[in-house]
Amino acid sequence: EAQVTQNPRYLITVTGKKLTVTCSQNMNHEYMSWYRQDPGLGLRQIYYSMNVEVTDKGDVPEGYKVSRKEKRNFPLILESPSPNQTSLYFCASSLNRGAGDIQYFGAGTRLSVL
């Protein structure tokens, strides 16, 4: 089954404790991205990756890092989480980046930073 898999689904952590949210897709997609979803703000893009070893900032990259060492994986790293990073996070992938390329989303990771 074609899917985007995120782990963990739920995470509670404390300020400053490094964490990684994993994302994996099995569709051989070139393009992957991370979004955060906050009430009333829709989805905002954090980082995206056009291909292996190619990453770039989205609209809200501050406090986040990503890596793309393999095509299927695109982990999101919070080196020193802060309470304002409490949010619902989604990983998405598409064949390429451009009009007509439908993005497929994971089920989400709900993060709480205390």
Residues 67 to 96 in contact with another protein, rule: CB under 8 A: 90, 92
Residue whose tokens read 């996070």: 89
User: Binders of another protein: how many residues, by CB under 8 A?
Assistant: 25
Q: Which residues are within 8 A (CB) of 39 and not within 5 positions of it... i.e. 6 or more apart?
A: none
Kindly tell me which of 33 and 85 has the beta carbon lying closer to another protein. 33
Answer yes or no whether residue 98 interacts with another protein by CB under 8 A.
Answer: yes
Instruction: Work out the angle at residue 45's Cα, subtended by the Cα atoms of residues 49 and 51, and round it to the nearest 5 degrees.
Output: 5
Q: Is 84 helix (H, G, I), strand (E, B) or coil?
A: helix
Question: Which spans of this chain sit near another protein (rule: CB under 8 A)?
Answer: 4, 33, 35, 40-45, 48, 58, 90, 92, 97-108
